[in-house]
Structure 1
Amino acid sequence: MSTVLVTGGSGFVGIHVVLQLLAAGHQVRTTVRRPDRQADVLAMLREGGAASPESLSFFTADLTADEGWREAVAGCDYVLHVASPLSTSVPKDENEMIIPARDGTLRVLRAARDAGVRRVVVTSSLGAIGYGHPPRERPFDESDWTNLGGADVQPYIKSKTLAERAAWDFIAQEGGGLELAVVNPAGIFGPVLGPDFSGSIEIVKSLLDGAMPAVPRVHFGVVDVRDVADLHLRAMISPDAKGERFIAVSGETMSILDIARVLRRELGPAARRVPRLQAPDWLVRLAANRIALLRAVVPMLGRVRHSTSAKARSVLGWQPRSNQEAILSTAESLIRLGLVKG
């Protein structure tokens, strides 16, 4: 089997990618920013039922520095670049997110090219595809790119767009024989394996905790993290994935109120704190003046972006779980791990 490096193995997506690679019999390496994160990764693998963690080795490397990357990629057949800076709030300086995302991606690609790696799969985002455009009926697909001049383009969206653009430019100009494929997930849900999880998961946690008396009018695509990991593995080995992008979205766009209704309908007493009401937009805008977390939400109010995963399904045979399964597995794992209010 192949030797595969996963960057950011302690993250929510990264750990599921590592789990599936181990299950498929690959020799797996992963990077962590600090050596003490190794214990967290091993604990999450145990939670995820990993059968062969002895096939995993660790390397210390940071997206903001050159040290460690050459050693991490040496002898690898593939690199899955999952690591990216993520914040639940809007940073004062957008470059806090943009520079590590873009420069870190180039650092990984450069090291992979120099080591003779066959293919790199980069985790981008639907944020690099469907933002900065006027409302439209036609779903976004892989031919679309986010318009960085749009009012709804937050620093995270900008960082993912610029990082992916830089990756394609690098391959075209300096890539040599290195191949690239890109996965563009929507909002990522699914089973949490530890306390380190993404902003999408925070939405479900906040609903279960009763942190919001009413929810903002926000819509997004949904995908299960296990299906995102599966798509990475398919994009890694399929000849047809070379030079291609693949949107990862399960089905129809959901609102936060839709998610709340799924939780209330399916979880019974465990969802007793989940709100029933949607807040009017003017109230969310007013509250955003005092609550930093809401500032990122304001440009998204009422915007519905439809997207399609037809390409991933037809080219790579990808078959994702339903929206409901992704949402419920998120909630059930948060409850099981004691990460929501009792």
Structure 2
Amino acid sequence: MSAAKKKTACVTGGNGYIASALIKMLLEKGYAVKTTVRNPDDMAKNSHLKDLQALGPLEVLRADLDVEGSFDDAVAGCDYAFLVAAPVNMAAEDPEKELIEPAVRATLNVMRSCVKAGTVRRVVLTSSAAGVYIRPELQGDGHVLDEESWSDVEYLRAEKPPLWWAYCVSKVLLEKAARRFAEEHGISLVTVCPVSTVGAAPAPIVSTSVPACLSFLSGDEAGLGALKGIEKTSGAVQLVHVDDLCRAEQFVAEEASAAGRYICCGVNTTVVELARFLAHKYPQYGVETNFAGDQLLEKPRVRLSSAKLVREGFEFRYKNLDEMYDDVVEYGKALGILHY
């Protein structure tokens, strides 16, 4: 593929877990990639980007989600823009001002740059299943949620359930703001809503779902608490492998007929099922499987469906826990989350 013919993609937030994996995959598929980080000189966070430059043309640019026009250079000349970076301030004292408003503002900042560029064929927004599954009226079990489902913002703001209520609100509001903006400016926008993501990626620092999904093996109580919280508020623990997520993002970018939202979920499971599976697969870690008194589910009460994605021609490669966990344990060791 000659340099002139290469498709060019911008991936925001190149030092993030999902973004780093997406950059690697796009380079391997022959794309030229431009990515943004807040501080390109911070090698502790960005050393992997140097390594990825060996795979193909990767340009690393400075940009700040909060600064309008900051992404103009990064998006200029790109065919596709993957919006992966998002403010994540879980410790915010004023979540509305420090997390929710900045998340909406950041999304629209990048989309304004896409309008200015005039070359972007499609914007792929990475949101989250957190914008799909927090719905208190889903009592009992047997529920299956698709892309029509939205987390209940009024409930979240009123009840402020622990575990990222403001994060869930931010995802709903930024998705809806992005959709309005895209309609007003004639942008082709597709949104991907991934669940908790596992698997190895180039990023050397990971603060998201990987530590939580390894918490049974690492003994990380906070991580395990996060998994229990997800199950309690959403009715299951939902997982997708990062490779499937990246392939889904590329799929919806290139598939001309793709439109609207796409849930990206490989497995619906529970804390109890996960513990039993890990205890069996990794006996050396002595995983605790007795959760008496914890009121945990035996089977998912609510399932997230990726039927729309599959119906349109996408195929998941990682469809069970065994496949999902194959490389994440080695990755956990490389990150220092697991010590043996």
Read off the aligned partner of 2:261 and give its amino acid letter: R
Q: Say whether 1:162 aligns with 2:173.
A: yes
Label 1:210 to 1:309 Cα distance change in 2 as closer, same or farther (>3 A): same
**Residue 242 of structure 2 aligns to which amino acid in structure 1?**
V
Pairwise CA RMSD = 2.6
Q: Which amino acid aligns with 2:154?
A: G
SS of residue in 2 equivalent to 1:319: coil
Contact kept? 2:134, 2:151, Cα under 8 Å = yes
Task: Give, in whole Å, the separation in 2 of the partners of 1:202 and 1:238.
Answer: 33
Q: 1:322 aligns with which of 304, 319, 322?
A: 319
Q: Distance in 1 between matches of 2:106 and 2:175?
A: 11
Residues 140-289 of structure 1 mapped to structure 2, 5 A cutoff = 140-150=145-155, 151=159, 152=161, 154-173=165-184, 175-176=185-186, 178-212=187-221, 216=228, 218=231, 219-241=236-258, 243-251=259-267, 253-269=268-284, 271-272=285-286, 274-278=287-291, 280-281=293-294
Distance (whole Å) between structure 2 residues aligned to residue 104 and residue 24 of structure 1: 28
> Which residue identity does 2:182 align to in structure 1?
I
Three-state SS of the structure 1 residue aligned to 2:10 is strand
Q: TM-score scaled to structure 2, two decimals? A: 0.84
Q: Is the 8 A contact 2:36 2:60 kept in 1?
A: yes
* 8 Å contact from structure 2 (residues 130, 168) kept in 1: yes
What residue number does 1:83 align with?
A: 85
CA shift digits 1:111-158 (9 cap, x unpaired): 101111111000011111221341253311012222112245701111
Give the structure-1-normalised TM-score. Answer: 0.83
Kindly provide the amino acid, as one letter, of the partner of residue 132 in structure 1: R
Distance in 2, matches of 1:39 and 1:28, equals: 21
Verify the 8 A CA contact 1:227 1:321 in the aligned structure 2: yes
Q: Which moved more, 1:320-329 or 1:69-78?
A: 320-329
Please give the alpha-carbon distance, in whole angstroms, between the structure 2 residues aligned to 1:38 and 1:332: 23
Q: How does 1:43-192 map to 2 (within 5 A)?
A: 43=48, 46=51, 50=52, 52-87=54-89, 89-95=90-96, 96-116=98-118, 117-135=120-138, 137-150=142-155, 151=159, 152=161, 154-173=165-184, 175-176=185-186, 178-192=187-201
How far apart are the structure 1 equivalents of 2:301 and 2:330? Answer: 27
Q: CA deviation at 1:168?
A: 0.5
1:7 has 2:20 as partner: no
Distance 2:79 2:43 in 1: 23
Name the CA distance, whole Å, in 1 between partners of 2:337 and 2:194. 24
Q: Secondary structure at the match of 1:98?
A: helix
Structure 2: state its 5+ residue gaps: 1-5
CA contact (8 A) 1:132 1:148 kept: no
Q: 2:95 is aligned with what amino acid?
A: E
Percent identity between matched residues is 29
2:27 matched to 1:22?
A: yes
Q: CA distance change for structure 1 residues 149 and 125 in 2, over 3 Å: closer, same or farther?
A: same
Tell me if structure 2 keeps the 8 A contact 1:4–1:80.
Answer: yes
Report the Cα distance in structure 2 between the residues aligned to 1:69 and 1:240, rounded to whole angstroms: 27
